[in-house]
Structure 1
Amino acid sequence: MPKSADLSWIDEAFPIPSQHSLNKSVRDIIAKEPKHSIVFRNIGKYILSLKGVEEPPSKKRKAGSEKNGVKKEVKGAGDVGLGKGDIVITVKEISFSIPTRKKFSLLLTNSSMSAVNAATGAVEFGVPWSEIQYVACLPVPDKAARQWNFCVFPKGAEGLGDGSADALVFTIPDGAPKTATGDGMGAGHDTSTYKSLLVAVFDSLLDRGTRVLEPDEKVFHSAVPQSHRKGEKAFHVKAHVGSKEGYLFFLKNGIMWAFKKPLIYFSFAAIESVSYTSITKRTLNLSIHVAEERGDAEFEFSMIDQEEYAGIDTYIKRNRLNDASMAEARRAKKHNVNGKEEEDGEDAGNLQKALEELEDEEEEDYVPGKDKDDDEDELGSELEDVNPDVPRAKRAKR
């Protein structure tokens, strides 16, 4: 491969963030075996031809002028104008951990959110507001200084099925937003902290009906005290996937696994059933089975502290996640995961109606004299043997 060979076509054919993993794989293969670059380029040309682009451009096309040190760039057909449009907020020195671990300037325009290289002013990666499916602002666990992680899930990046896209994760500190500038500072938003400012700006720029999701004490909170922040409730549950330690967050309309790559978001509509396995005196495992159309896969989270059982079980039963017969009802009326309150209320009403109809059917099928305990499987017995104070739990019907 010639020394001056241009590889910008890779970003055109395999755009970031939607194809971040594939983009990196192609670059790695070409770096090790340059002779394969022609084959991959031809594949890239074919992909772009399907999108209506005849030839991958050899260089990035600049559009517009610099503003606040940001070069507005158009990378090609795979890009939807990252960094373009009116700048609402720029926040310098923001630490990203996914898809890459580095500090960038966070650029929020009226069309997209982007990570900007502070040295060059170039957009490194980002996502248009129209392509964002879920957003959550979660407290960073086990840190002496209070921090929050913004988790942004582009469409297809929720970690289910065979999607290869990654979520975007960046960390914001506590305190006043001293490094934030832009017209959004004077748009009636709460500018007292980084968190209040960014939540307000995200809510205003995300597509209608989508809002930043945050933990709610009324929905779920951890039973394990925070030794470094006494009296303050935690919202995370420590768990493992294999040898990888991470955190589960039980949110309003879904369960999130964070902050190790890949992040996973289980919306209620995607969940077939939830069950407990490997019960011991100190720990338990939580298994989440996703629906067939989302990959028909089982995700097991292990080494969860027994103290968290009561809160998790209450959350699961309240939302009927351990009842596989309710899976179709959840999918029939999908929750608006980041929806506005009035829309959430409508969804909740529909779900409640479905639950009541199911309960009416169960009452019709009731046989007098049948012992209620006959419906409970060995899991309830296991839990009772381990700890008689722990209520029995029903294993999900498969």
Structure 2
Amino acid sequence: MPVPVNDESRAGTPPGEEIDFDEPQWDMIDELQSHVHFHARTRFNSLTVFHTRESTLKISPSSRLKEGICTVSAVRMTSRRNLLKIKGMSEAKVEKIKEAAQKILGSSFQTGVQVADKRKRVLQISTGSKSVDGMLGGGFMSQSISEVYGEFRTGKTQLAHTLSVIAQLPPEMGGASGKVTYIDTEGTFRPDRIRAIADRFGVDPEQTLENITYARAYNSEHQMELIQEAGIRFAEEKNFRLLIVDSIMALFRTDYSGRGELSERQQKLAQMLAKLCKLSEEFNIVVLLTNQVQGEFRRIPGRQWRLLQRSSRSVGISYLMRRPHASCCAKASDPRLFPKWFSNLVSWIRIGRGEERVAKLVDSPERPESEGSYKLDEGGWADV
């Protein structure tokens, strides 16, 4: 039976166009549901959601987590090469799935007006500090990735806790009225801190904790699996608004410790950042990554390597290889080899005078380089 398509559901669809689920390509999707593991039937906004039919699934849970293909948009975002890696998929099957996804979603091209309308859906989550919010233009934005890095005691994890509470508040209070997914790579998540921050904003601490989906990652592969699983949760529950990874590089540094493994580490990290970028755009969520800075070693001719100074460059890889304050991702052998995944901003935080901490906006496509101040107290990030 034909199902009418909402005029606002996607760009490139003429008003009143219908999709007939009895057409042949749907028979192919029915046949291949054991591989793609979800079956398309319902539309919301710009996404077509797949509803699970557990009684007919043949793919193992571990394989579903590995692939993480939960929506038709995800099919479009996944390359044919990666679809072919799914057990049981052939080139012919992949092409038919791609054709079905193209028919559902229509053209990828949009007018500038349609892009502007899409930008109206962008959400902002306050940091808890008016000064830092002003620097960011209102807070951390959805449909993009934001990285915050700095030395210890600058409040990176405290920012993650603060955002975990504020994200659940209504928009008039700086929130996004949504749930939170928190991936912890260092074991620093503390429920008591969430309770204290919830008290500051006058919300129920236990309900606040209930709205946070927490997972502890133990290696970089596990970290990627958790991100894939988060994507499945986002497709099944539409009210997630924040994904936190604290911190993005900690496990990569332990899993890939030698210089000989640097290339492989960069590739794995690039894949993870690409996945996070797709999730942020597809599900309209804020993605926050925390990271550390590193010491800068240089060799003086005729002498041994020595630590000259504490660098403001963060650990990781980036297209900003030799620039001061480079982003999480600032250590590629050739800056041109790694794309700029941080479509929102990169912020460096440092200790100021007394209780003051200073956040500096280093790179953003919308905002100029600037600074904002904040302090850390029982209620998280706050005004000085």
The TM tier, using the shorter chain, reads under 0.3
Q: TM-score, normalised by structure 2?
A: 0.25
| Rg comparison, structure with higher value | 1
Q: TM-score, normalised by structure 1?
A: 0.24
